[in-house]
Amino acid sequence: MSWKDAFQYAKGVAASHGIDAAKKESHADDGLPFGARIGSLLSIQMSPFIRATANGSLIDTPAASESLIKAISRVKLGLPGNLYRYYLATGDSESEKEKFLQVYQNENGEVAEILYCTRLTRIIPETDEDQKAFTGEDGYGLGEKSYSLWKEQLAGLGYDASMLAAVFGDAASIDYRRDAGSQSDDFVAPFTGTKTRVDDAAGEHGLAQQIYFMPYVRDIGDGQEYLLISTEIVESQDGDASKRGIHFDLMIGLPIEKERVVIQ
């Protein structure tokens, strides 16, 4: 599956309307790929991370202690298929980096693509101009054909000099190409939808968000590394609509073969 293909996120039970009594007895984490549930243990073979790191990837290799699925999100974009995120770290606190396994299930119910994702940085918009750029609402910014990360930018975020040298070499930046639409198009409007994250099987705790989303990609060695950029507008947390906010997330994603994933 390519990001150029259509995909859809399903809403959690907590966000659904008009459900009958039988459905109310179900759990928000029922029927997920790999039989995943909140509280399941996730293990991934390390060989994809070893290869990626050797080829200059920015991905954070998961620690042995990071194996518990703490939350699951589903986002609806109104296109065929389903995409799920199994969170090993939700990133809700300033000291915690968001980490998740992203699983795309096509319209035939088959697992077609898996990415392991770690947050590179979170940006809080300071101006209306910032917000417009990261929603692409004026036809520029998020949705342009390429996106560059700068060595100086990451150094300012505290990334280690030796790691940056391995990633950038003598270059001042690395470039990602948009993985949606045609490269002949200067701009493609970002995907938009809603994301519901559930933090417990009953669906009582979690986040409801509106999102603007665009995937970018670059070649590393004989593989690829994704840069997933999303603007997330928090509409409620744990059902409390007063907890609103907006942020921009830049996530690094590494493709993982299905046979390298085990969830128990």
Report helix, strand or coil for 149: strand
pLDDT in the model for residue 184:
94
pLDDT in the model for residue 2:
36
pLDDT in the model for residue 26:
54
- What pTM did the predictor assign? 0.87
List Cα–Cα distances, 18 to 1, 11, 253, in angstroms.
33, 13, 36
pLDDT less than 50: residues of the chain: 1-25
> What's the DSSP call for residue 129?
H
pLDDT in the model for residue 65:
87
pLDDT in the model for residue 8:
28
